[in-house]
Structure 1
């Protein structure tokens, strides 16, 4: 990616006109993108209105909720996107795009940001106001609750922030933050009406659909909201159904019980792609695939051993074997293709001779390690087996230990030394803040270095995007040389649709603006 991608001009002073223009063009961009979706090139004419689309997702059982601040699953995120809006969302390059916010601008010191709201209404006809925004963020930040976006909103001093008009919020920050628009786009940072607490019976959002019925763990039915600010959806109704097993989602799609099946595995996609029965949509570069090494304990507290493991990996073999070829080679850094990604570093290749030499110098001949894995994500157990065999060629014995898929993500944060790891799309800045700072809550590699923390704070307070990119480049060079993430690939996120479905965007990673944009989907 260029060091100063075009969207970053929105972070500077004088952005009101530019941001408004970008926001106004989003609907057109989304519609243009629709033509590249399944069947989009078949000459079916313009989008059609009407019909119900049924979408199958893995669900969360009887404990599911429509509270947009509580969601963790992809099903939660898709439902929340249909019912609610955020101030901003991530574009395909993981930079912030305006949504309910029509514009934002900062003061010279980057510690005060003025956010202007567009004219939008909730499903009850009331306008979305600055008071709604402040209530929503204060609700998320409540120390007595465990809302997903709480950590993302941490830079905001919500006691000092205030409404300076019906549609203008002045956010006061605890420290200079050049990437503040990313906070507005944070996962789960949805805007709800001032005072709202009841969501499962009759949620009131400002999204493209309104609730008809909700049966936790079974089905959610939504109906088009005609007055949606970004244009009423084409579909009359949208139904989310629950199918936790991938085979059940595929069978429902093939059998005509649903028209959209979320998260298929690479083997399924290869079996059906181009066969004419269903359409396969690949969301490129959606999920980082890695092994996480704990850098604070033996043997990976020795950076020579970490480098040796970087060199043991045959990344192409891992992609072909664990992902059926559905992915791109990684280079031990998160965010390939995203803003600020360090593209100039040499691509790592397998070098078993150098790996053996590093291990010998570290006194680790005959090294034995345990690799934790699970069926929690597609390709994890396959990747563990492949890497075990690769490591044996360098004289390392890897014991594969398969853990519970229900507790895996919590288990690997503190225990073990080496594990399979996956991450969805987010800005590189967010990846660093959530996983690589001394006080990060999901620091799976136990990477804790005060000088690295200081570089992050420097990047956050650097106004010029090119200079800021230079600081991020320094941080990535350090991680490339001695970090704990062995990033071997970036997997496609795979969706199946019926042949009648149009408008599914194929260029947006999961969790970004154009993922699960059911307001832009139609039935041919």
Structure 2
């Protein structure tokens, strides 16, 4: 499941710790595909605390003790403690607390070492040596190369549907081997300059060799399991021997609250200290009250319209450029995101590594748009825009863009779809649709959505020369040269691609006033998102 996908969550059991609500519709940015962002060789990695300016509140010296209760949308009986099956936000947060990966993504979506102490490629970029740091599982046994290889082979089991299977595809696990207890030689099927991103892939957690049952999971994360009631509550306790330093909290409890109103009311009522996934309207209503703290995680979700480039009218690049120029991005951000975001420039990954930030910011130009449509013989164009309430702001953005297009002589009919099937419906059908994506490295976005054989190519962008540029970048060791290649790809997408990226939405969480250490600079699904081992109660 990719970052634009959503999960339908059944309501939690009636005796949930927080009043149950309706299912939540959202997205979880998975990292799919072999990927893109890190130094080719990395050594001497320190621990992974939040940056000095990244924590919320008044700062001060961390205090030890207490229980933090965090409200997430629950998944009922579908919730799992198997980190390789995690697909819900609540599952992902639990997995992060209980387990570790070899690497994880920093705020700019570059990989940061975790269980890996260093990695080093050969000259051809098809063989990488990874050295593990000294770390222990909750049962006291050391994390070894055998555990890593077992975990990756489990994830890639063809009979299983584990989330990060596609991410690990470039690794030849039959040929990869343990050099010694703390060293793994990964052999790849093809040169991969961005191999460290594979180590950071969503769900690529390391479990003990032989573990198949997760009724009583043993991980190497900062917390260990006390109890688990799917759809209701999960209680975790501090792991004192955690390699990155014992958490400040004594205990961490996840409670299920599907409706946003239940999460914010539980926070206001003192039933929880952390409320995940709040709307801009809710945040604005409570931000100045002094009762709670609002944390905005910038650049967490790309907001866009996707144009199918393989069929009329968008098989004509003049029509696509006209649509780029029809959009008033500031109005879309104000109206559809309630101002909780920033304008986009028709490219994914604003603020991330490799982003082509030197391109001129596109502005609305209705005269030029009308001229382009006339050149294309589409002066009185009529188009259907597929949308849904599958994601916050989709309906509002569709209405705003419809009105903007009318000023250029384009008639847009907005068609609402069933949220249960929206993402599968719009992948191959229609011509224009509402679209969004969570955080992932830019290279992953390119590989998942913009290559001829990409499985989630919603714009049907299929160009062999573009594919060749991507493969050239992947086999280029020099970072400056690789950056230049990704820049060429992005300049082409900016000029004639199918994604009209109008904005980037904030991801919003709320906390009690006494909560400290919640990272601000952490897009959803990066390392510091929903990271509770560095949080404390003042």
TM exceeds 0.5? Answer: yes
Kept after mapping to 2: 8 A contact 1:38/1:281: no
1:137 matched to 2:152? The reply is yes
Three-state SS of the structure 2 residue aligned to 1:227 is coil
1:234 matched to 2:248? The reply is yes
Partner of 2:178: 163
Out of 86, 91, 106, the residue aligned to residue 71 of structure 1 is 86
Kept after mapping to 2: 8 A contact 1:493/1:509: yes
Out of 250, 266, 272, the residue aligned to residue 252 of structure 1 is 266
Take 2:455 and 2:57, find their aligned partners in 1: how far apart are those partners?
39
Q: Which has the higher helix share?
A: 1
Partner of 1:109: 124
Aligned alpha-carbon RMSD (Å): 1.4
Gaps of at least 5 residues in structure 1 are 1-6
1:122-521 equivalences under 5 Å are 122-199=137-214, 201-521=215-535
Partner of 1:10: 39
Three-state SS of the structure 1 residue aligned to 2:529 is coil
1:32 matched to 2:52? The reply is yes
Three-state SS of the structure 1 residue aligned to 2:413 is strand
**Greater Cα shift, 389-398 or 457-466:** 389-398
Shift of 1:38: 2.5
Kept after mapping to 2: 8 A contact 1:163/1:169: yes
Kept after mapping to 1: 8 A contact 2:325/2:366: yes
Take 1:33 and 1:76, find their aligned partners in 2: how far apart are those partners?
28
Take 1:38 and 1:396, find their aligned partners in 2: how far apart are those partners?
48
TM-score computed with the length of structure 2 as normaliser: 0.91
- Tell me: CA distance 1:416–1:457, structure 2 relative to 1, closer, same or farther (3 Å): same
Shift of 1:517: 1.2
Partner of 2:16: none
TM-score computed with the length of structure 1 as normaliser: 0.94
Shift of 1:495: 0.6
Take 1:117 and 1:338, find their aligned partners in 2: how far apart are those partners?
27
Shift of 1:39: 3.4
Take 1:356 and 1:143, find their aligned partners in 2: how far apart are those partners?
51
Out of 30, 35, 46, the residue aligned to residue 61 of structure 2 is 46
Shift of 1:31: 6.3
| 1:92-122 deviation line (CA, Å, top 9, x unaligned) | 1111110000000000111100000011111
Take 1:10 and 1:216, find their aligned partners in 2: how far apart are those partners?
40
Three-state SS of the structure 1 residue aligned to 2:495 is helix
Kept after mapping to 2: 8 A contact 1:286/1:493: yes
Shift of 1:65: 1.0
Kept after mapping to 2: 8 A contact 1:31/1:520: no
Take 1:411 and 1:434, find their aligned partners in 2: how far apart are those partners?
18
Kept after mapping to 1: 8 A contact 2:225/2:236: yes
Three-state SS of the structure 1 residue aligned to 2:68 is strand
Kept after mapping to 2: 8 A contact 1:10/1:104: no
| 1:263-287 deviation line (CA, Å, top 9, x unaligned) | 1111111111122011100111111
Partner of 2:105: 90
Kept after mapping to 1: 8 A contact 2:293/2:510: yes
Kept after mapping to 2: 8 A contact 1:39/1:499: no
Three-state SS of the structure 2 residue aligned to 1:400 is strand
Take 1:208 and 1:69, find their aligned partners in 2: how far apart are those partners?
18
Shift of 1:33: 4.3
| 1:477-512 deviation line (CA, Å, top 9, x unaligned) | 110111111000111111100111111010111111
Report how many aligned residue pairs link the two structures.
Answer: 503
Three-state SS of the structure 1 residue aligned to 2:395 is helix
| 1:399-444 deviation line (CA, Å, top 9, x unaligned) | 1122222222222212222111111111111111111111111111
Take 2:82 and 2:426, find their aligned partners in 1: how far apart are those partners?
28
Take 2:38 and 2:353, find their aligned partners in 1: how far apart are those partners?
13
Three-state SS of the structure 2 residue aligned to 1:55 is strand
| 1:362-401 deviation line (CA, Å, top 9, x unaligned) | 1212211111222222111111111111111111111112
Take 2:483 and 2:191, find their aligned partners in 1: how far apart are those partners?
16
Take 2:491 and 2:290, find their aligned partners in 1: how far apart are those partners?
46
Three-state SS of the structure 2 residue aligned to 1:328 is strand
Kept after mapping to 2: 8 A contact 1:332/1:485: yes
Take 1:33 and 1:522, find their aligned partners in 2: how far apart are those partners?
16
Kept after mapping to 1: 8 A contact 2:326/2:366: yes
Take 2:344 and 2:534, find their aligned partners in 1: how far apart are those partners?
32
